[in-house]
Amino acid sequence: MPRLDQSIQMLARGYAWLPDLRRAAGRDTVRTRLMVRPTLGLVGAGGARFLYDERNVRRSGALPEPVVSTLFGHGAVHTLDGEPHRVRKAMFVDLLMGEGIGDLVDRVTTAWDEAAQRWAQQPQVVLMDAAAEVLTRGVCDWAAVPVSEDELPALARDLTTLVDGFATGAPRHWRARRARQRREAWLAGIVEEVRSGRRSVPAGSVLDVVAGHRDSDGELLEPRVAAVEVLNVIRPTVAVCWFVGFTAHALHHWPAIRERLRTGEPAFATAVAHEVRRFYPFAPFIGGRSPRAVEWEGETVPAGAMVLLDLFGQNHDPELFPEPYAFRPERFLDGEGAGAAVRRIGPWELVPQGAGDPRTGHRCPGEDITVALLSALAVRLARLTYTLPPQDLEISLSRIPARPASGVVLTAVRPG
């Protein structure tokens, strides 16, 4: 096992860190050391199956404290295993993978259409910030989280800050910790109001379901943990603004895509959403710790080792995605032209939001929502008229999470 810790290299190299280690080792599985722990870095469908098997990898106690204290929250579903995970996850699956998605998309697209009228009155719009506000408005209304128009920009900023600060020692990390403290305290108070009957919320809404949820031990969630889980719905929904920013980047570099997107052809819009999620760097890798000594492809690591799956690397694996650095939504379509359909994607193949079965494993339960929102907003973005003034649109792979540096500044915006 290598003796030198790679934590600093990981933070410095970002998304290129595991791919570089693999290239240097000349193989898919790499052994290294992270946060002083022996670490196994995996990629590919086989590696993903290995990682999602709880006999090999557990999440509890495995995620680094700086990540839990910013991105996920203490006590979050991400940190559970076994029966406690199954019961908590079922709540998310019911809330996020059912019929309610259409209502969420309607609320977000209505908020976008209203905001686009206002953008036309402004000298410039920072698209990622503006999209974050649109998404915050839509998801908070859908989830029954009360937020006034005045409070909206600050809430949108806090929710994006939680995402922006999880993988760095820079000031944005400390901002993220403070934002989490603030928002957990606020939402825990609201959960208590709902439970005591001082606040009424629509039956079946996110706030109603989380406030009333009973864990595998039959107990209600601590108010603070309930707040964590409400945030685990609204925070990643608002994070779709990153993909909106990446979509604008793609439309700029591959203008032909704009023309076909504008038609609103649903299969093509979905294919664009998949290609944006595949092509652009967002979640770098996922991982956990081995409960026992485990072996994969001839490499053995001791109990307690970290095991990571390189999501970004897998999404650029030429075996799975030929010419992976070409942005080609058509790779997700069967057939040509208006008659094309979205092709079936295997559970271990496209992994921007994890792999496997979201109902039983840790795969993101918000993937349907992400694709539905992103395809609807991508069509709207393609129909918007705007100018991109001179700005830094570069996406650095060494910054986690990556983003177009400028946030995508638009001028002369005219609704489509």
Residues 401, 404, 409, 410, CA torsion sign: negative
* Cβ partners under 8 Å of residue 181, min gap 6: none
Question: How far apart are alpha carbons 103 and 138 in whole angstroms?
Answer: 9
Contact 244/350 with Cβ under 8 angstroms?
no
Quick note: the x/- pattern for ligand HEM over 333-352, rule CB under 6 A, is -------------------x
Q: How far is CA 55 from CA 51, 150, 360, in A?
A: 9, 49, 14
**Residue 136 binding ligand HEM, by CB under 6 A:** no
Determine the interface stretch with ligand HEM among 128-136, 237-245, 340-348, 402-410 (rule: CB under 6 A): 237-245
Closest to ligand HEM by CB, 78 or 260: 78
**Residue 96 binding ligand HEM, by CB under 6 A:** yes
**Residue 63 binding ligand HEM, by CB under 6 A:** no
Question: At closest approach, how far in Å is the CB of 118 from ligand HEM?
Answer: 24
CA distance between the termini of the chain: 57
**Three-class secondary structure of residue 326 per DSSP:** coil
Closest to ligand HEM by CB, 108 or 384: 108
**Residue 362 binding ligand HEM, by CB under 6 A:** yes
**Residue 232 binding ligand HEM, by CB under 6 A:** yes
Closest to ligand HEM by CB, 354 or 404: 354
Determine the interface stretch with ligand HEM among 179-187, 337-345, 362-370, 390-398 (rule: CB under 6 A): 362-370
Q: Tell how many helices (H) and how many strands (E) occur in the chain.
A: 16, 11
Strands 306-310 and 37-42: parallel
Q: How many residues in the shown chain lie near ligand HEM by CB under 6 A?
A: 24
Closest to ligand HEM by CB, 163 or 413: 163
**Residue 371 binding ligand HEM, by CB under 6 A:** no
**Residue 130 binding ligand HEM, by CB under 6 A:** no
Closest to ligand HEM by CB, 89 or 278: 89
**Residue 353 binding ligand HEM, by CB under 6 A:** yes
**Residue 365 binding ligand HEM, by CB under 6 A:** yes
**Three-class secondary structure of residue 216 per DSSP:** coil
Quick note: the x/- pattern for ligand HEM over 68-87, rule CB under 6 A, is ---------xx---------
**Three-class secondary structure of residue 345 per DSSP:** coil
Angle at 326 between CA 31 and CA 373, to 5 degrees: 90
Determine the interface stretch with ligand HEM among 11-19, 114-122, 334-342, 361-369 (rule: CB under 6 A): 361-369
Question: At closest approach, how far in Å is the CB of 288 from ligand HEM?
Answer: 8
Question: How far apart are alpha carbons 133 and 126 in whole angstroms?
Answer: 11
214: which DSSP letter? B
The full DSSP string for 222-237 is PHHHHHHHHHHHHHHH
Residues 168-207 that bind ligand HEM (CB under 6 A): none
Question: What are the start-end ranges of the H helices in 263-331?
Answer: 266-279, 311-315
Q: How far is CA 263 from CA 115, 251, 257, in A?
A: 21, 14, 10
Q: Is 241 annotated as a binding residue?
A: no
For ligand HEM, the binding residue among 308, 369, 372, 413 (CB under 6 A) is: 369
Residue 391 in tokens: 């700005």
CA dihedral 364, 231, 370, 43 (to 10 degrees): -30
Quick note: the x/- pattern for ligand HEM over 283-312, rule CB under 6 A, is x--x--------------------------
Question: How far apart are alpha carbons 97 and 369 in whole angstroms?
Answer: 8
**Residue 251 binding ligand HEM, by CB under 6 A:** no
Question: At closest approach, how far in Å is the CB of 293 from ligand HEM?
Answer: 22
Closest to ligand HEM by CB, 180 or 260: 180
Contact 131/241 with Cβ under 8 angstroms?
yes
Q: Which residues are part of a known binding site for heme?
A: 364
Instruction: Give residues in contact with ligand HEM (CB under 6 A).
Output: 77-78, 89, 92, 96, 232-233, 236-237, 239-240, 282-283, 286, 352-354, 362-366, 369-370
